């Protein structure tokens, strides 16, 4: 049982929902990432998705893409990211999962990646460009290491395939709210609630919804059908817009924003 499984067990017993901020590692630097995750954890964020910057992210919209470019331009390396997470993890009780291209994991070596990430206190990985057919090798390593491999299901996934993906997933299912890329949206598709309700009947796994979620009203509308919600671009955008403002001010602003969303799930 991974720390993610224990988290959702506890949340379900308390009838609470997870709120998972997405933070790009190394944007604008790893110091900031460490402080941001620390402060949001204290504020009550339930779990973190840590974005591993990648040069060619095809599932990401302009906001997250630009954050990856900023981090890579400053020379962030995977080993440095894992070292930072390794310092953070013991200080917070909140599980951390990475979100990163299989290009990165493949180059590092899947077994080495899982071993190093686990040693750093990371509980699982989301690999957005590794569909279930290609995931056998990584999935076997993750099972052996009790490291969650969170798979994605989208509105374009046919029902049979969704069930197959659910069978291969550990930790939770990442349900992608829209047919599209990451990024804030004013409105989410009306069919979303029904799609998640259907999926819930197919699997006992927790279901978290991501892509497009940015507003308290989104959280309010989706919290009843999901086990958790993921917020990315809205946080990354606030980092991008920080400019030369004092870091403390930017951290407080993001903390306040996440606090508003947390109020909707608790």
Partner 1 sequence: MSGAGGPSHFARIVPIMPVSSPVPDPRGRFGPFGGRYIPETLVRALDQLAEQYAAANRDPSFRAELEELYRNYVGRPSPLYHARRLSRKVGGAQIYLKREDLNHTGSHKINNTLGQALLTMRMGKRRVIAETGAGQHGVATATACAHFGLECVVYMGEEDIRRQRPNVFSMRLLGAEVRPVGSGSRTLRDAINEAMRDWMSSVETTHYCLGSVMGPHPFPVMVRDFQSVIGREAREQCLDQLGRLPDLIVACVGGGSNAGGIFFPFIDDKQVALLGVEAGGRSTRPGDHAAPLNFGRPGILHGSYSYVMQDDDGQTCPVHSISAGLDYPGVGPEHSYWKEIGRASYATASDDEVLEAFDVLARTEGIIAALESSHAVAKAIDEAARRPADQIVLVNLSGRGDKDAAEIARLRGVEF
Q: Is 150 in the site for partner 1 (CB under 8 A)?
A: no
Residue closer to partner 1 (CB basis): 32 or 54: 54
* Catalytic residue of the set 5, 27, 60, 264: 60
Of 124 and 250, nearer to partner 1 (C-beta) is: 124
Query: Taking the complex as a whole, how short is the minimal distance between the CB of residue 118 and partner 1, in angstroms?
Result: 19
Nearer to partner 1, 62 or 224 (CB): 62
Q: Is 97 one of the binding residues for partner 1 (CB under 8 A)?
A: no
Draw the binding track, 163-202, toward partner 1 (x: CB under 8 A; -: no contact): --x----------x-xxxx---------------------
Q: Do 203 and 163 contact (CB within 8 A), yes or no?
A: yes
Residues whose CB falls within 8 Å of the CB of residue 187, separated by 6 or more in sequence, listed in order: none
Minimum separation from the CB atom of position 91 to partner 1 (A): 26
CB-CB contact of 53 with 29 (8 Å): no
> Minimum Å distance from CB 130 to partner 1?
6
| Cβ proximity to partner 1, 148 vs 151, nearer residue | 151
Is 253 a known active-site residue?
no
Q: Does 78 bind partner 1 (CB under 8 A)?
A: yes
Nearer residue to partner 1 within complex by CB, 11 or 181: 181
- Verify binding: residue 107, partner 1, rule CB under 8 A: yes
In what order do the strands lie in the sheet containing 207-210?
Answer: 148-150, 122-126, 96-99, 48-51, 18-24, 228-231, 207-210, 173-176, 152-153
> Do the beta carbons of residue 175 and residue 155 sit within 8 Å?
no
18, 152, 166, 222: which one binds partner 1 (CB under 8 A): 152
**How far is 197 from 21, CA to CA, in rounded Å?**
23
Task: Establish if 239 lies at the interface with partner 1 (CB under 8 A).
Answer: no
- Choose the binding region for partner 1 from 87-95, 158-166, 188-196, 240-248 (rule: CB under 8 A): 158-166
Among 106, 163, 164, 200, binds partner 1 (CB under 8 A): 106
Q: Are 224 and 243 within 8 A, CB to CB?
A: no
Tokens of residue 229, six digits: 């919600």
Whole-angstrom Cα distance, residue 139 to residue 105? Answer: 13
- Closest Cα to residue 156, out of 177, 140, 129, 135? 177
Tell the smallest beta-carbon distance from residue 58 to partner 1 (Å).
4
CA distance 162 to 114: 25
Q: Residue 143 and residue 148: Cα distance in Å, rounded?
A: 7
Which position among 67, 94, 101, 170 is part of the footprint of partner 1 (CB under 8 A)? 101
Size of the site for partner 1 (CB under 8 A): 42
d(CA 99, CA 51): 5
Q: How many Cβ atoms from other residues are within 10 Å of residue 154's Cβ?
A: 16
Active site positions, annotated: 49, 60
* Residues found near partner 1 in the complex (CB under 8 A): 54-61, 65, 69, 72, 77-78, 101-108, 128-131, 133-134, 151-158, 161, 165, 176, 178-181
């Amino acid at each position: 049982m991974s720390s993610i499984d224990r988290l959702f067990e506890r949340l379900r017993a308390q009838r609470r929902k997870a709120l998972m901020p997405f933070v790009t590692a190394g944007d604008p630097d790893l110091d900031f990432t460490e402080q941001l995750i620390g402060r949001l954890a204290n504020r009550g964020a339930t779990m973190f998705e840590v974005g591993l910057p990648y040069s060619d992210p095809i599932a990401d919209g302009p906001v997250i893409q630009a954050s990856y470019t900023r981090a890579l331009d400053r020379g962030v390396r995977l080993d440095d990211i894992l070292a930072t997470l390794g310092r953070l993890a013991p200080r917070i009780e909140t599980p951390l999962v990475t979100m990163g291209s299989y290009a990165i994991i493949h180059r590092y070596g899947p077994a080495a990646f899982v071993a190093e990430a686990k040693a750093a206190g990371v509980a699982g990985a989301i690999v957005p460009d590794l569909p279930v057919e290609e995931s056998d090798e990584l999935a076997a390593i993750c099972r052996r290491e009790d490291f969650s491999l969170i798979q994605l299901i989208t509105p374009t996934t046919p029902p049979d395939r969704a069930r197959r993906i659910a069978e291969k997933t550990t930790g939770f299912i990442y349900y992608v709210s829209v047919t599209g890329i990451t990024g804030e949206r004013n409105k989410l598709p009306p069919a979303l609630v029904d799609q998640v309700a259907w999926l819930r009947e197919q699997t006992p796994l927790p279901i978290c919804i991501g892509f497009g979620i940015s507003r308290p009203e989104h959280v309010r509308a989706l919290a009843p059908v999901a086990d958790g919600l993921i917020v990315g671009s809205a946080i990354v955008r606030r980092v991008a817009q920080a400019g030369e403002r004092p870091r403390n001010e930017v951290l407080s602003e993001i903390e306040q924003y996440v606090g508003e969303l947390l109020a909707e799930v608790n």
